Amino acid sequence: MSAPVLTAVFHNWHCDHFGHVNVRHYAGVFDDAIFAFWTRMGAAKSGIVPVTATITAAFKSEVQAGDIVQIMASVTRIGGKSATITLTMQDPIGDVRATCEVVEVFFDMATRHSAPMPDAVRQALTDAAK
């Protein structure tokens, strides 16, 4: 996707005793971004929904109170029952602050088991990956 899926502002209360944003708050922003991403992909329109199986975060540059960031999403893999999305946190001039790779498995809310990805979501992901 070329447009950001989320813009966030970090505040003093996001900082730890060292004066920089604590990892728990990066996680919250990335979690909000993946929800916004799936809303754009139309994933909430059926009983088959994506759930997070794994996340891997990498911190590239310090984020401090007052910083504004944008989260960009890239589809990096589309499988039968899962997809991998890379979220990139960057500042307004494009410097990368952190990345987060998220593996999402599609889950049938009725049966409580993994399920094939809905066709409409697969198409939206394929379109976004272009």
Q: If you average pLDDT over residues 69-96, what whole number do you get?
A: 96
Q: Which domains does the chain have, with CATH numbers?
A: 6-129 (3.10.129.10)
**pTM reported for the whole predicted model:** 0.93
Question: In the numeric block, which tokens belong to residue 86?
Answer: 């890379």
Contact (Cβ atoms closer than 8 angstroms) between residue 99 and residue 30: no
pLDDT in tens, 107-123: 999 999 999 999 999 99
Using CB atoms within 10 A of its CB, is residue 84 exposed (0-12), middle (13-18) or buried (19+)? middle
- The model's confidence at residue 2, banded by pLDDT at 50, 70 and 90, is low
- Whole-number pLDDT of residue 1: 55
Q: What is the mean pLDDT of the chain?
A: 94
pLDDT above 90: residue 56: yes
The residue type at 45:
K
pLDDT above 70: residue 43: yes
